Amino acid sequence: MQGFDLEQLRTLAAVVDAGSLTAAAPRVFLSQSSVSEQIRKLEERAGQSLLTRSKAGVAPTEAGVRLLGYARRILALSDEAFRDLHGETLQGELRLAVTDYFRPGDLTRLLGRLGESYPKVRLHVSILKSDALRSAYAHGDFDVGIAMNIAGASAPEARGAVLRRESLVWLGAEGMRLVRGEPLRLLALPDTCSLHQFTVSLLRRRRVPYALAHVASGVAGLQSALAAGLGVACLNESAISDGVTRLAPPHGLPALPRVAFQFLPGRKGETAFVTRAREMLATHLM
C-alpha cells in the first residue's frame, strides 16, 4: 500500500521546526536515535533525501520542502478529525498580528484555508511592522503575534516558538547586474524597521559603499521598486515576487544569515482557546 506514515511526517515537521534532530526529540517524545531512524525510513519511502545536515543543524532539501507542505496539511486534518470526533471544536475570536515580511504572497491563501478548516473561529488579522507589532502585543492589543528575528541580531525580548525559518537574500530586478566601484543603490523599508537597521549596519561594517535610493512604506511597495529596477534590497526568501530575483554571484555583497518567524511568547494566564489557536496557526502557517 502506497502512502506515508503519519508519525514519520510528524517527526519531519518537528525536526525542521526545531532545526536539529536532537532538539526535535523531546517534541515527539523519542530518543535522538529514534528520530534519526524515523527520518531514514521516511527518506526511503520518499525515494530521495529530505534534509541537509551541517554543523549549524538541518534544513529541508527541495524535496523536503515539498513533502513538508503535504505533511502539515495531513497532520492538520488528522488533528482536526480527532478533535471533531472527541467534541473538541475550536470556537471563539482571535486577534492575530503578523509582521509584513511573513509569506506576503501566500498569507491571504493560508488564512483562507484556516477559515475553511476552523469555521467557528473569527480571526481578526493585522499586518504590522515588527516594532509596532511588539508594542501593541505588549499592551494586550492582540492575542497572538508573529514577528521576525534575524539570526545573530539581539532580540528585544524572550523568543517564542519558531514558526518558520528562511534565508535572507540580496534581490534585484531580473537581469540586474551590479557595477563594480559604484555605490550600491539600496532599497529598504523605513529606518524603524529592524531589517533596515540590520542591512545598513552590515554594509557599514563590511565597508560596502551604498546610497539609500528608495524607502518603501511596506513590503509590497519594496517589491514593486525592486521589479522596477530602482536598486537592491535585502529580503527574506518568501518575499521574492514576480520580476524580482536573487542577485547572481559573485555580487560582492556580504553573506546573509537566516531569519526565524516566531510567535511572541504566550502571556501568563492566557485562555486555553488562545493556546490551542496558536497551535492551530503553527500547523497551518508553516
Same domain as 155, residue 177: no
Same domain as 78, residue 187: no
pTM of the model: 0.70
CATH number of the domain residue 32 falls in? 1.10.10.10
Answer whether residue 172 is part of any domain.
yes
Q: Whole-angstrom Cα distance, residue 71 to residue 67?
A: 6
Q: Which of 29, 58, 85 is the last residue of a domain?
A: 85
Helices (H) and strands (E) counted in the chain, each on its own, are 9, 11
The pLDDT of residue 8 is 92
Cell (9 digits) for 106: 501566500
pLDDT in tens, 198-249: 999 999 999 999 999 999 999 999 999 999 999 999 999 999 999 999 998 7
Same domain as 143, residue 11: no
The pLDDT of residue 86 is 63
Answer whether residue 1 is part of any domain.
no
| pLDDT bucket at 153, cuts 50 / 70 / 90 | low
- Coil vs helix vs strand at 25: helix
The pLDDT of residue 158 is 45
The pLDDT of residue 223 is 94
How many structural domains does the chain have?
3
Rounding to the nearest 10 degrees, give the CA dihedral for residues 222, 227, 231, 232.
70
| pLDDT bucket at 152, cuts 50 / 70 / 90 | low
Same domain as 103, residue 75: no
Higher pLDDT: 270 or 159? It is 270
Q: Which of 172, 168, 166 is nearest to 245 (CA)?
A: 172
Host domain of residue 181? 166-257
Least confidently predicted of 61-65, 87-91, 103-107, 120-124: 87-91
